[in-house]
Amino acid sequence: MTRRLAPADVVSVAFVVPLQGPTGIYGPSCLACGELAVEQLNASTGIAGRQVELVVVDAGRDPALVAEDVRRLVDSGRVQAVAGWHISAVRQAVTRVVGGRVVYAFAAMHEGGDATPGVFMIGERPLNQLLPAAHWMREELSVGRWAIVGNDYVFPRVTGATARLALEDTPSEVVSETYVPLGTTDFAAVIGDLSQRPVDGVIMLLMGQDAVHFNRQFARAGLSAQLPRLSPAVEENTLLAGGAAANEGLFAAAAYFDGMATAESAELARAYYARWGRWAPALNAVGESCYEAMLFLARLGEVCGSLDVRRVSAMESGQFWSSPRGLVRLDGNLVDQDVYVARADGLEFRVADQIARAH
């Protein structure tokens, strides 16, 4: 890994995205969207008048290894900011070693609750994603009793607990929670247990390739028609990898889907496919979140004049800006944004409804 100092007229960003492991399925889309954002920024005013470059860090490894690479980049002055999509376990490890020293745009959906100076959680959160989606599923499909199946790390566990508590005094409820290690390929026992439980639907908090394996085995077990699945993490790559037969009865909640009928999303799609061609990695919520993170850093530079943590931390909340997700609003170090629920249709998503709005 290069340790040279970044030139004074360049903002170098540690671009932390998964290139291997269960979440490596998202990597090509993340890289394509991040590179597109940098090209567009550099054709304009960059970040605070400086050109932008990405220094890619593979987030698909053990969180401690990822964090050590980021620490070295920050310590050496090689990078002046951190951005990208990666799981919350990686975010926590990175925050422990560089938190408060550089601005950190964490792009993934998240469980919330990180008040480290300079850390911005710009993805969806349970309040505007999973919980309204569960309400929509109850109203539209009469799904009231949920089983949660998730990976065993901070985001699924905290999100699962949040859902369980939030639904306690509603017509919906969480009746079971099962968490498996990241990298699980055999879900026979989990699916066998689901088939015996009195549940109406499954909340999937599985990442990447784990979700692919689960969806295939779930469909082969004949459960797709009777138990709808809802996920805050499944996107177009997961549909492609699973195959159309694995996607019956699958719903996702996200702030972005490829093919959304909005002017802002259409503008990104045109630029993306013009740059990378028809065989580009699937444009999806995970990749778009990386594009979003780079635009967010540019917005900070515009408002604050630099990415200095002290200046950025003193910025007033309530900032609005336009993105492929539409109009979004900064709420402390979190973001309010429009969120949609979509139904899988073969290898594509069809947006069914808007379930949350930026306000």
Q: For residue 234, give the nearest of 220, 217, 221, 247 by alpha carbon.
A: 247
> Two tokens at 208?
């990447």
Instruction: Please check whether residue 132 is in contact with residue 356, taking contact to mean a CB–CB distance below 8 angstroms.
Output: yes
Pairwise CA distance, residues 73 & 3, whole Å = 7
Give the pLDDT of residue 2.
43
Q: What pTM value is reported for the model?
A: 0.94
Pairing mode, strands 348-356 and 51-58: unpaired
Instruction: Quote the pLDDT of residue 5.
Output: 55
Q: Is the dihedral of CA 325, 335, 356, 288 positive or negative?
A: positive
Q: Tell me: the pLDDT tens digits for 256-315?
A: 999 888 999 999 999 999 999 989 999 999 999 999 999 999 999 999 999 999 999 999
Q: In this predicted structure, what is the pLDDT of residue 342?
A: 97
The helices-and-strands tally (H runs, E runs) of the chain is 11, 15
Give dist(CA 163, CA 312) in Å, integer: 32
Q: Which of 348, 320, 357, 343 is nearest to 132 (CA)?
A: 357
Cβ count near 173 (within 10 Å): 15
Q: Look at residue 316 in the predicted model and tell me its pLDDT.
A: 87
Sheet architecture: strand order including 10-17: 51-58, 10-17, 81-84, 103-106, 119-121, 334-336, 326-331, 320-323
Identity of the amino acid at 237: N
The distance from CA 12 to its chain's CA centroid, rounded to whole angstroms, is 22
* Radius of gyration of the chain measured on its C-alpha atoms: 20
The length of the chain in residues reads 359
Q: What is the pLDDT of residue 264?
A: 92
Which string of DSSP letters, residue by residue, matches 161-209? HHHHHHTTTSS-EEEEEEEE-TT----HHHHHHHHHS--SEEEEE--HH
Largest Cα–Cα distance in the chain?
62
pLDDT at 6: 58
Name the helix (H) or strand (E) containing 76.
none
Taking 70 as the pLDDT cut, the residues of the chain under it are: 1-7
Taking the C-alpha atoms of residue 236 and residue 54, their distance in angstroms, rounded to an integer, is: 24
Closest CA to 321 of 264, 243, 281: 264
The residue type at 238: T
Strands 320-323, 326-331: pairing is antiparallel
Question: Tokens 């994603």 appear where?
Answer: 129
Q: At 226, which helix (H) or strand (E)? A: none
What pLDDT was estimated at residue 26? 96
Tell me the C-alpha distance between 133 and 157, whole Å.
18
